[in-house]
Amino acid sequence: MRSIPPGVQIAPSILSADFAELGDQVDLVLAAGAKVIHIDVMDGQFVPPITMGPIVVKALAERVHDAGGFIDVHLMIEDPERQIDGFAEAEADLLTVHYEAVSEPLKAVERIRAAGMLAGIAIKPGTDVQVLEVVAEAVDLVLVMSVEPGWGGQRFIEASTEKIAEVRNLVGNGAVIEVDGGIDATTAASVVGAGASLLVAGSAVYSADDPQAAYRSIAAAASA
Ligand code: DX5
Ligand code: ZN
């Protein structure tokens, strides 16, 4: 089992990449220094869009792992437990399910770990941090959504920073806090200050003219 790369990490989300050139788009950010690749899985049910599944993770796994990288899969789907084995076989390193999509979050975490992956629980902007109490001891990562899940390119919800601090209080230093949505060079420092260390950036990286330079400037802002 691979561990989450230490320190503050920017995880480019391929949701905003050019899908006709997906392998090259992943290589580009790995070459710029990215160690975590974020993959957004949507089913048209939990959120309206449909994106990609294990078959895409599997197609990218070797190049990410050969470069020393880590595959972070964010499931925005109903009944995510049904897909755990498929993502394990596709060589995902971390599988995050939404609290709102599972009936027994602790069981979901245990099943993900039993399948050989690290386990994360995500909460939507409207979900209270306290619901995480039941998984606080067990989970490897908490993902705080700082936009409504479903689309890239939305504006960062300012109240997320306070939520990250609340999560840090709840889970102590036992779990990594990831933040997803609206992260760019202007929002990165405040979420790190609140306790997040894994920062997803989709459009800020891949919609930039120079994704490598954009990655580096967000990474620099996050560590400042
Ligand atoms: C949205 C996804 C995000 C998305 C973020 O539901 O979970 O990972 O790619 O996009 P940006 O960074 O553009 O807000
Ligand atoms: Zn995501």
H/E segment holding residue 84:
helix 84-89
Measured in degrees and rounded to the nearest 5, phi and psi for residue 21 equal: -130, 40
Neighbours of ion ligand 2 (CB under 5 A): 40, 74, 180
Confidence at residue 197, expressed as pLDDT on a 0 to 100 scale: 98
As a whole number of angstroms, the distance between CA 71 and CA 35 comes to 9
Whether 210 is catalytic is no
Sign of CA dihedral 165, 127, 117, 27: negative
| Digit-coded pLDDT (tens) for 30-68 | 999 999 999 999 999 999 999 999 999 999 999 999 999
Confidence at residue 173, expressed as pLDDT on a 0 to 100 scale: 92
As a whole number of angstroms, the distance between CA 133 and CA 80 comes to 20
Query: Is the CB–ligand 1 distance for residue 11 below 6 Å?
Result: no
Confidence at residue 224, expressed as pLDDT on a 0 to 100 scale: 84
Q: Which listed ligand is nearest to 151 at the C-alpha?
A: 1
* Spacing, Cα 151 to ligand 1 middle (Å): 6
Please name which of 137, 139, 78 lies closest in space to residue 109, comparing C-alpha atoms.
Answer: 139
Confidence at residue 136, expressed as pLDDT on a 0 to 100 scale: 97
Q: ∠ CA(175), CA(176), CA(181), 5° rounding?
A: 135
Q: Which listed ligand is nearest to 152 at the C-alpha?
A: 1
Ligand 1 nearest-atom number relative to CA 205: 12
The catalytic residue among 79, 180, 184, 209 is 180
Confidence at residue 1, expressed as pLDDT on a 0 to 100 scale: 87
Confidence at residue 113, expressed as pLDDT on a 0 to 100 scale: 98
Domains in the chain: ranges and CATH: 9-223 (3.20.20.70)
Query: Is the CB–ligand 1 distance for residue 202 below 6 Å?
Result: yes
Residue of the CA atom closest to atom 10 of ligand 1: 152
Please name which of 51, 14, 15 lies closest in space to residue 29, comparing C-alpha atoms.
Answer: 14
* Inter-CA distances, 131 with 54, 101, 161, 164, 171, Å: 28, 13, 18, 14, 12
The rounded average pLDDT for each run of 10 residues, N- to C-terminus, in the chain (224 residues) is 96 98 98 98 98 98 98 98 98 98 98 98 98 97 98 98 98 96 98 98 98 98 94
- 132 with 170: CB under 8 angstroms? yes
